[in-house]
Structure 1
Amino acid sequence: MRVTHRAVAVLATPLVALSTLAATAPAAVADDAPDQCTFPDKPYDGKPWSLQRVLLDELWKQATGKGVRVAVIDTGVDVKNPQLAKAVDAKSGRNLLPKNLKDKNGNKIERGNENGTTDSVGHGTKVAGIIAARPMKGTGFVGLAPEATIIPIQQNDAEGHGTAESLAAAIRYAAGPARADVINISQDTANALEPTSELKQAVNEALAKKVVIVASAGNDGLGGNVKETYPASYEGVLAVASSDHNNERAAFSQSGEFVDVAAPGVDMISTVPGGGHCSDDGTSFSAPYAAGVAALLKEKQPGWTPRQINAQIMQTAERAISGHDRLVGWGVVDPVRALTEADKPIEQPVPGNGNAEKAKPPSAMDLPVGETAQERESRLGTYVAVGTSVLVAVIAGGAVVMRDARRRANGKAGK
């Protein structure tokens, strides 16, 4: 699988899974892209479409993520980008990659800083930016939770050294010593894992500590492919698919009954190592969009459980249908509505368009109270009789008008 770096168009950089874990990336990318995303890159001076759909001032009246700690388990987070320098808690960061790393040809490669603040791939830096990038003059890009704190946990790299076991260790570290409130996992395992696996156990332990876990659904959805991905498919994890500019499932986004919601995942502008911005596609960048909303909810409602925060995000999502579907789950994440309607906790989403509303199918007009079938037939018969009388009158009136017209015409002719 590959992580793409985009600057207007797509250009692929490989991210190969040598073990059981792979970072999510689009299933297909263009090989003829004219512009490569470099590290650092030019700043994006506009406001990304994924943020244009959000009334940020209204959102930040509710919460900004202040005091909320979000662990980014990924390829590291580069703090040289000025929008992330003050967002990252480097002291709590960790590098969980194996010692003495080598590439597939056996050559030694750099492992990076021990605190997880090195990112040669750029993947984790983009994920962190979508969550908590600080506002900066000269760009319209900013994180959804611009006062949240990022905990960088480097657990994968360009050679795919991350494993299900190291991911489990990263989750345990995030929920334990790092004191994370939210964990973002923009990765999935190459193979399905049994519910009793070590990864599943780590997820359950974190949830028991009231840590919200958000995971990308995966990018193998081309051609209608449906399969479960992990850890997104585990009970209690918020599984996030990708939506496009039209709030529809992005073509690459993984489908399945496990999908909880969708979030923007196409042409996603975010921070890159060294400074500047780049565009990318994938559920890897939809998950942090939802994780940013989770961080805001954590600030506003610190006593809510992960189940309640997940349910709130699902319930307030923008829906094309009343209930859940396997393409975008309960709909596309609506940050403002998720926060402004967060007065009472709910345990699970329900069909409809509101927190307690249930969609009602259209029904036929009721009959008059107390009307019997015989009375109804009599009433309908009366309607028919009256209609017939009116029609006869119209025809007769028309005949009279024609007769008088002929008489007048004959009279004029005789003069």
Structure 2
Amino acid sequence: MKNIIILFTILLVIVLSACSNSTSTISKEKSTEKKKEYLVTFNKQVDLGFTNKLGILLIKKYKYFPVVLAALSNKQYKQLKLDPNVKDIEANTTLHSDSMDVKKNQSLDIPQNLQSKYTGKGIKIAVLDSGIDVNHPDLNIKGVVSFLPNSKPSIDKTGHGTHVAGIIGAQDNQIGITGVAPDSEIYGLKVLNGSDIGKNSALLSAIEWCIDSDIDIIHMSFSSKKFSQAVSTAVGVAYKKNILMVASAGNEGIYLKESISYPGAYNEVIAVGSVNSQGKRSIFSSVGKQLEVMALGEGVYSTEPNNKYGKRDGTSMAAPYVTGVCALLKQKYRNLSNEEIRNRLRNTAIPLGDKFLYGNGLVNPSKLLN
């Protein structure tokens, strides 16, 4: 009998130990469950009480829009989906620039600046891009900020942001080129990395910074194929605060199907397509009903990092021309609303053909300013 009791005791210890190890393994599996980054958009305001109750790791809560960046497990994702206060949950989608191949050129093929008494003086423009080379002698950048971890805002590895900045506001200083609005105040906001790729979370942070900093125009020469409720909410807030937003239409137009990319496709953003020097739509320029105006986007000569200049193609190069023109108009009429500026752009544009392909036509600064 004594032996039976001892044997039973040993078996009980083994079973309990196995259960303990099993529970430990399950607990460990749960604790190491991989979480993904999501942007969570709420209907009105962020319900922090609910997120805390679910043990959600909040990476960032945005100030002006009911959006949070959070790391969610599958279980937390499903629980949030059931919350009636949650409008949308989306993966932290990537962005990419709208520049085509780079054609380096050190010749004197320099475009003329607009013959206008307006220079964009006093207009604050935020260039959301890959950074800007602040040491370029042809650029006078008022400030730079990076929204990427461990990335210096004044280093532009791809040259994309530096090229865009030159089109908008290269100085009228007897060297290099002169931008459309040479006296505008340009701020470089880094949202794209060394491969010209970024995240929507960085874009939201940059828009938030622009609101805080009383920026007049936000320029975005990048795109995403996916609609984002979080970004749509943010641009809506910025637009109501009378911040004008200009973006490249995208380089997906070769098949002539609806292809305007985001953020250009949001109703609040001016989508700019590309034409060549003969006024014909660039074969790559995206098309669609959201297309607003066109500008030169082929062989555009502008500033490059390390005191250089070069040519690039893409709707990324067309959009900054329109941003510069809008800066001139804002200087002339400081109290114009976003809608009034857009109406003037549309009504003064030179018609080029089918609106699906050309929008309202070629931007016409002479008529616009006179």
Provide TM-score, normalisation by structure 2. 0.72
Q: Confirm whether residue 257 of structure 1 aligns to residue 289 of structure 2.
A: yes
Quote the offset at 1:131 in angstroms: 0.4
Contact 1:169/1:202 (8 A) holds in 2:
no
> Which position in structure 1 is the counterpart of 2:173?
136
Instruction: Note the C-alpha offset of 1:245.
Output: 1.0
Compared CA separation, residues 334 and 68, structure 1 to 2 (3 A): same
> In structure 1, what is the Cα distance between the partners aligned to 2:210 and 2:324?
17
Does 2:193 correspond to 1:188? no
Query: What are the Cα deviations for residues 187-215 of structure 1, in whole angstroms up to 9, with x where unaligned?
Result: 111x3214xx1111110111111110000
Alpha-carbon contact 2:189-2:206 (below 8 Å) kept: yes
CA radius of gyration, larger in: 1
Distance 1:241 1:228 in 2: 9
RMSD: 1.9
Alpha-carbon distance in 1 for matches of 2:362, 2:323: 13
Within 5 Å, which residues of 2 pair with 1:362-377?
none
Residue identity matched to 1:24 = D
C-alpha contact (below 8 Å) 2:158/2:196 kept by paired residues: no
CA distance in 1 between partners of 2:180 and 2:99 (Å): 22
TM-score of the superposed pair, with normalisation by structure 1: 0.64
Percent identical across equivalent pairs?
33
Matches within 5 A, 1:35-74: 37=104, 42=106, 44-48=107-111, 51=112, 56-57=114-115, 60-61=116-117, 63-74=118-129
Task: Tell me what 1:408 maps to.
Answer: none
- Paired residues in the alignment total 279
Give 2:72's aligned residue: none
- Whole-angstrom CA distance in 1 between matches of 2:223 and 2:321: 17
Match of 2:158 in 1: 121
1:275 matched to 2:332? The reply is: no
Q: What is the distance in 1 between the residues matched to 2:204 and 2:283?
A: 30
- Cα distance in 2, alignment partners of residues 137 and 46 from structure 1: 15
State the alpha-carbon separation in 2 of the partners of residues 65 and 46 from structure 1.
24
- State the partner residue of 1:97: 148
Report which of the two has the higher share of strand: 2
Paired residues for 1:142-291 under 5 Å = 142-176=178-212, 178-189=213-224, 191-194=225-228, 197-291=229-323
Structure 2, unpaired ranges of 5+: 1-91
Distance in 2, Cα, partners of 1:236 & 1:301: 20
Structure 1 unaligned segments of length 5 or more: list them: 1-17, 100-110, 341-415
Q: Deviations over 1:324-369 (max 9, x none)?
A: 60111000111111111xxxxxxxxxxxxxxxxxxxxxxxxxxxxx
Aligned to 1:315: 347
Deviations 1:233-275, CA, capped at 9 Å, x for gaps: 1112111000111112101100111100011000000001121
Alpha-carbon contact 2:156-2:194 (below 8 Å) kept: no
Conserved in 1, the CA contact under 8 Å of 2:138 and 2:175?
no
* CA deviation after TM superposition for structure 1 residue 227, in Å: 2.0
What is the aligned counterpart of 1:20 among 85, 94, 100?
94
